[in-house]
Amino acid sequence: MAEGLFPRERSAPAPGAVHVPGWLPFARQRELVAACREFGRGPLSYEATVLPGGGVMSVRSLCLGRRWEPYRYLGKEESLVELPGWLVDLGRDALVEAYGEHGEFAPDTALVNFYGDGARMGMHQDREERSPAPVVSLSLGDTCVFRLGNTEDRGRPYTDVELVSGDLFVFGGPSRFAYHGVPKVYAGTAAPGLGLRGRLNITLRETGL
């Protein structure tokens, strides 16, 4: 298929996983980029997470609402910034788009990841949450390869999906605890008018804690 000639189709790469290309209009993407920039001006900042083994993640992240550190959520009282209501609403709209209903989705945390030059994310499960609610993922900026794996281990079978700015990806149901990661970001692919160099990803989650 000639890339870019045909519209990218909505797909369900695994049971419970839905990819909606171009879900966010460009103006909304710009607003989200601006909001993510504001989130990082304090009291939060985008920081590389240090893993218990001493490794440092190449992605820089911040948490709105409940804060996550490897591998647990901190208490409610340690949240530095409230998860904005408009982001909760956007998460619900995302689930209505993906599944036809939001099922009373009540996210209490958003992890915002910034992928600068060379950043990527290894295969992992999002498993510190105690709620079975789906994870809603929004992508902004550079295109990446998102790898959706199986629930057993980091290896095959997996499906690679290109996530472009404005794409929605939801993983719930049987895919909720699937391993996933971002092996590649295509530097410099963000639209010039977006106001972002690099890639931002927002995941909304319900911790159930």
Ligand X SMILES: O=C(O)CCC(=O)C(=O)O
**What is the spatial distance between Cα 64 and Cα 182, in angstroms, rounded to a whole number?**
21
What residue number has its CB nearest to Fe ion? 126
**One of 203, 204, 206, 207 touching ligand X (CB under 6 A):** 203
**At its nearest, how many Å lie between ligand X and the CB of residue 203?**
5
The torsion angle over the Cα atoms of residues 145, 205, 36 and 112, rounded to 10 degrees, is -50
**What is the spatial distance between Cα 196 and Cα 10, in angstroms, rounded to a whole number?**
25
**One of 109, 113, 143, 165 touching ligand X (CB under 6 A):** 113
Beta bridge partners of 141: 199
In which residue are the tokens 């600068």 written?
116
201 in Cβ contact with 112 (< 8 Å) = yes
**One of 18, 182, 190, 196 touching ligand X (CB under 6 A):** 182
Kindly state whether residue 111 participates in binding ligand X, applying the rule CB under 6 A.
yes
Kindly state whether residue 180 participates in binding ligand X, applying the rule CB under 6 A.
yes
| Residue with Cβ nearer ligand X (101 or 186) | 186
**One of 73, 146, 158, 179 touching ligand X (CB under 6 A):** 146
Residue 165 interface partner, choices Fe ion, ligand X, none, CB cut-off 5-8 Å depending on type = none
Kindly state whether residue 110 participates in binding ligand X, applying the rule CB under 6 A.
no
Q: Which residues of 175-189 are buried (b: 16+ CB within 10 A; e: fewer)?
A: bbbbbbbbeebebee
Residue 62 interface partner, choices ligand X, Fe ion, none, CB cut-off 5-8 Å depending on type = none
**At its nearest, how many Å lie between ligand X and the CB of residue 121?**
6
| Residue with Cβ nearer Fe ion (148 or 194) | 148
- AA identity, residue 130: R
**At its nearest, how many Å lie between ligand X and the CB of residue 181?**
7
Kindly state whether residue 205 participates in binding ligand X, applying the rule CB under 6 A.
no
- Report the number of secondary-structure helices (H) and strands (E) in the chain: 2, 14
What residue number has its CB nearest to ligand X? 201
Cβ partners under 8 Å of residue 200, min gap 6: 32, 33, 36, 112, 113, 114, 115, 139, 140, 141
Residues forming the site for ligand X (CB under 6 A): 111, 113, 121, 126, 137, 146, 180, 182, 201, 203
